[in-house]
Amino acid sequence: MLGLGAGQLDAQVSVRVNKDNKGKSVEVKVGESGRGKSQGRDEGRRDHGRSDDQRDRGIGQERVWVVDYEMVEERYFQLGHWTTVEKQVWVPDQHVKTIERVWVPEKHVKVIERVWIPGRTEMVEETVYVAGQHVTRRVARRDCHGRIYYTNECVWVPAHYEKKMVEKCIPGRYEDREVCKVVPGHYVDKEVCKVIPGHYKTVCEKVFVEGCYKTRMVKRECGGHWEVKKPDPCKPCQPCKN
């Protein structure tokens, strides 16, 4: 503050340092107020309030210090470490056996089945032995007039074999027979051989990365500036005391 004669001159200097892609820039703002009221007979009566122009320029308001930062490059050493990297490897052709579910259509097949044949009786021809014996036979004769008549004669029949039809009982039994059956269509698990063509495959490999120097952008303080403290909207305004 500088007192000039009977009046009063208020001045506020604001310095702002800005940094962007083009570089640093310094902005200086100077605020001035008009002359104060003359000191005379009305010295005891002073206006405790301030004009709107003074409030807009921050004169008489609370100011805070704001720290300015800038992004700078920093060189640092990164230690060696293990890391996992992905790489493409060539897998050649390969033959693999897989189990696939395939459809088998309906078909007719001949199978051997064991069937039960029940018992029965049947007439069969057998060769039997007949012992020698005398038998009476009816013999036809013709008289002198040419008429036929029959007489019984006893003749000797020597022993011999002859065939006769006899009744036999065949018991029930099991017998293997070839029968035709229908197998309906169905799915079956079948082992098939497939060819997988050559292709590239992504695999993960653990490699060691050696330590090296690198640069990074860090935030660093580069001074600061004064700013007018903004009023808290949640805090109620206090009435002025006259």
User: Is 152 buried (19+), middle (13-18) or exposed (0-12) by CB count in 10 A?
Assistant: exposed
Determine what percent of the chain is predicted with pLDDT higher than 70: 72
Question: Stretch 56-79: mean pLDDT, rounded?
Answer: 81
What is the distance, to the nearest Å, from the Cα of residue 218 to the centroid of all Cα atoms in its chain? Answer: 42
What are the distances in angstroms from CA 190 to CA 105, 119, 181, 206? 14, 45, 23, 40
Instruction: Please state, in angstroms and rounded to a whole number, the distance separating the CA atoms of residues 28 and 59.
Output: 16
Please tell me whether residue 55 adopts helix, strand or coil conformation.
helix
Q: What is the pTM of this model?
A: 0.28
Instruction: Please state, in angstroms and rounded to a whole number, the distance separating the CA atoms of residues 54 and 215.
Output: 48
pLDDT of residue 75: 92
pLDDT at 46 over 60: no
Contact 227, 89 (CB under 8 A): no
pLDDT of residue 58: 52
Q: pLDDT confidence of 203, banded at 50, 70, 90?
A: very high
The domain limits of the chain are: 2-73+220-228
The string of pLDDT tens digits covering residues 85-124 is 999 999 999 999 999 999 999 999 999 999 899 988 988 8
